[in-house]
Amino acid sequence: MGQSLVKNYVHLIFSTKHRAPLIHPSVENELHNYLGGICNNLNCQVLKVGGYTDHIHILCMLSKKIALMKLMEELKSHSSKWIKTKGVEYSNFYWQDGYGAFSVNPSEIDKVITYIAKQHEHHRKKTFQEEYRAFLSKYNVEYEEKYVWD
């Protein structure tokens, strides 16, 4: 085959260090836009960015030119530096070390976009930890609880 054709939709999930509620409403939309810009600059077309006070969800198409680990490194490092410029209250802002990345069937894209858009509503009933465990279960990811959270 002479051409590489790739279409990988990926749902990325990561939290603030120790799940601290550091994503304040005053910077939330700007942070989401900033994260989306990082994805787009790396040729990972962003479809939706959302989250809650302690975590982020990103749905994007992973470019064939970048490894998932590199995308996550770029997202976390640049956004962490950026948010620290937004005020003294963000001087100790850090992301968790790990992340979740889950493949998404193209037929499920609209459903995932809606899910990400409704994060504030969703987290009135469920914590981030409960939500994340549900993803791990849905995708049959084996894990040890003591290593998931930092």
Q: What residue ranges define each of the domains in the chain, with the CATH number in brackets? A: 8-148 (3.30.70.1290)
Q: Provide mean pLDDT across the span 56-73.
A: 98
Q: Which residues contact 118 (CB under 8 A, 6 or more apart)?
A: none
Scanning the structure block, which residue is given the tokens 């409704």? 118
Distance, CA of 119 to CA of 13 (rounded, Å):
12
In single-letter form, the type of residue at position 111 comes to: K
> Which pLDDT does position 1 carry in this prediction?
64
Half-sphere exposure of 48 (CA within 13 A, CB side): 20
pTM of the model: 0.95
Q: What is the pLDDT of residues 108-149, one digit of tens each?
A: 999 999 999 999 999 999 999 999 999 999 999 998 888 888
d(CA 100, CA 113): 17
Q: Quote the CA–CA distance of 72 and 42 in Å, as a whole number.
A: 11
Do 75 and 46 touch, CB atoms closer than 8 A? no
State the residue for tokens 């479809």. 47
SS (H, E, C) 5-33: CCCEEEEEEEEEHHHCCCCCHHHHHHHHH
Phi-psi domain of 80 (left: phi exceeds 0; alpha: psi -120 through 50; beta: other) = alpha
Share of the chain above pLDDT 70, in %: 99
